[in-house]
Amino acid sequence: MKLILRILLSALAVVILSKILPGVRVDTYTTAIIVAIVLSLLNFIVKPILVILTLPVTILTFGLFLLIINALIILLADNLISGFTVNSIWWALLFSLLLSFLQSILFSLLKEDKKS
């Protein structure tokens, strides 16, 4: 149940950001749910491989290269999902930063409801 709620909250964050950012477009709410699922799978499978392969660059940039890895994951999801469009790596970078921020807010609201 918790996984489904997290995916739905992530999809909500994707929809909100697609309305705010002009460089990001999501066609339907179903596409937003698919984007949330694909992003979670890519973060689980592909991101650790990229982090290990780019470890020297990440160390040299004091971890800032991880932002580029997140943007590349967004662009990979853009290529995999029809109906989800990100115009450039800069929009992907901004989208990944705002998505992380919005997800942390939404997930913290979910945790507060559990404590009550």
Interatomic CA distance for residues 19 and 22, integer angstroms: 7
Residue 116 pLDDT greater than 60, yes or no: no
Q: Which of 101, 102, 97, 108 is nearest to 73 (CA)?
A: 97
Burial class of 71 by CB neighbour count within 10 A (0 to 12, 13 to 18, 19+): buried
Q: What is the mean pLDDT of residues 38-63?
A: 96
Listed by start position, the domains of the chain span 2-115
**Residue 1 pLDDT level (bands cut at 50, 70, 90):** confident
Torsion of CA 48, 44, 6, 10, to 10 degrees: 70
Interatomic CA distance for residues 30 and 34, integer angstroms: 6
**Residue 78 pLDDT level (bands cut at 50, 70, 90):** very high
Residue 113 pLDDT greater than 80, yes or no: no
Q: What is the mean pLDDT of residues 82-97?
A: 96
